[in-house]
Amino acid sequence: MDDKLRTKLERLKEKKGSEREAGLLALAEESQAPQVYNELGIYYKNDANDNEKAVEMFEKALAITEDASVYTNLASAYFNLAQKDSPERKAYMKKTTDAFQAAARLNSASYYFLGNLYMPKINAPFPDDQEKAVSCFMKIEKNKGAIWAQAMKNVGLYYYHNKKDYIRASAYFYLVKAADPKDKKIANYYEYAFGKVNKRKFWVEQFKKMNDQNDVDRLIDAGKKKLEVRCPRCGSSKVSHISVWTNMKKTLSSSFGLRRFERYAVTWHCDSCGKEW
């Protein structure tokens, strides 16, 4: 967009109502510029509350050139139309998701808006599907800044509340905390989730190796493998923890009493070969 057209658009943004609409329509006919059609769509969607007309303008802009922000505006207009209980509701819902998908192909930040469609909400036509929301949030690149941070916070909350997986919740909160150490709110989320994690010193060392969300599952799986107890005789991971009370009963029932204590002062039992250690 050249400077002359940009200046005209800025001036029209200051106008209101029909005067702004007339000016934008005249400028669109003169320039055939996608930016002008996009501004017309925003006017119809936000000021005139005419989402059908807004869709028409956004589609004209996209017919000239594809742009992630215009696809997002188009999705927003379709979303507004989907709020009405009409025979076209399902079609508008599909067009909303299609437009967000098209935007996300051009800019991964748009996955955030797509994910939000499936987050729990009141009186919304889209079904709650937090797993689908998380899959969208995970596709956002770290360089998207604040949107990425909010998405990772949402993923952490999902693992905390829905899955009770406090290690993974802590890992996602840690990513955001590391990106912005001054954010006290995310630091509180991290401390609250991490407070429920055993072997904290071990896990914080694992978290330090993470660069982004793609590292989380790999590092946590590797960490759990390191902590996995295996039988020293057969190498099996099918082991059971022996409680202190069980050890005490074995000791007291022994004919040699405390002399046999060392034999029963064990922690693990191998379910495969029977060894205790």
Q: H or E element: which one contains 241?
A: strand 239-241
Q: Can you tell me the distance from the alpha carbon of 12 to that of 1, in angstroms, rounded to the nearest whole number?
A: 15
Spatial distance between the Cα atoms of 112 and 68, rounded to a whole number of angstroms: 13
Tens-place pLDDT, residues 157-192: 999 999 999 999 999 999 999 999 999 999 999 999
Taking residue 62's Cβ as centre, other Cβ atoms within 10 Å add up to: 20
| pLDDT exceeds 60 at position 250 | no
3-state secondary structure of 85: coil
- The pLDDT value given to residue 253: 56
Give the Cα separation of 99 and 80 in Å (integer): 13
- Range with the lowest mean pLDDT among 139-148, 166-175, 190-199, 225-234? 225-234
Convert the pLDDT of each residue in 74-107 to its tens digit. Answer: 999 999 999 999 999 999 999 999 999 999 999 9
- Sequence-distant (6+) residues with CB within 8 A of 58 are 37, 38, 41, 70, 73, 74, 77
